[in-house]
Structure 1
Amino acid sequence: MKFTYYLEKITGVSIYPIISLLLFVTFFILVTLWVLRTDKKTIEHVENLPLDND
């Protein structure tokens, strides 16, 4: 039997892809807003962290 057969038998299984998409879009929007609102000095500090020997 195929995996989709078992998914068809679960009541309300169609809500999971919608919830997953909403979580992804929300996370993506929040990260984008955080990046756009972050101070340039903070971004320069974070991008130079791998190069610091301290």
Structure 2
Amino acid sequence: MKFIHYLEKITGVDVFALGSFFIFFSFFLIVTLWAFKADKKLIDHINRIPLD
């Protein structure tokens, strides 16, 4: 039996899919906005952390 058959048996499974999509999209949007608004010196400092 395939995995999709198990999902079809769960009541309200579409709510979980939409919820996880909105959480992912919100996080991606917030991180993108932060990256554009962040100070250039802070971004340069973060870029150098793995090399220090």
TM-score bin (small chain) = 0.7 to 0.9
Unaligned 5+ runs, structure 2: none
Mean Cα displacement is larger for which, 37-46 or 2-11? 2-11
Runs of 4 or more consecutive aligned structure 1 residues displaced over 4 Å after TM superposition: none
Q: 1:9 to 1:47 in 2, by over 3 A?
A: same
Matching of residue 50 in structure 1 with residue 45 in structure 2: no
SS in 1 for 2:22: helix
Q: Which protein is bigger by CA-based radius of gyration?
A: 1
TM-score by length of 1: 0.78
More helix by share: 2
Deviations 1:1-54 (A, max 9, x none): 3332222221111111111110110000000011111100111111112222xx
Partner residue in 2 for 1:21: 21
SS in 1 for 2:13: coil
- How high is the sequence identity, in percent, across the aligned residues? 52
Unaligned 5+ runs, structure 1: none
Q: Distance in 1 between matches of 2:16 and 2:26?
A: 15
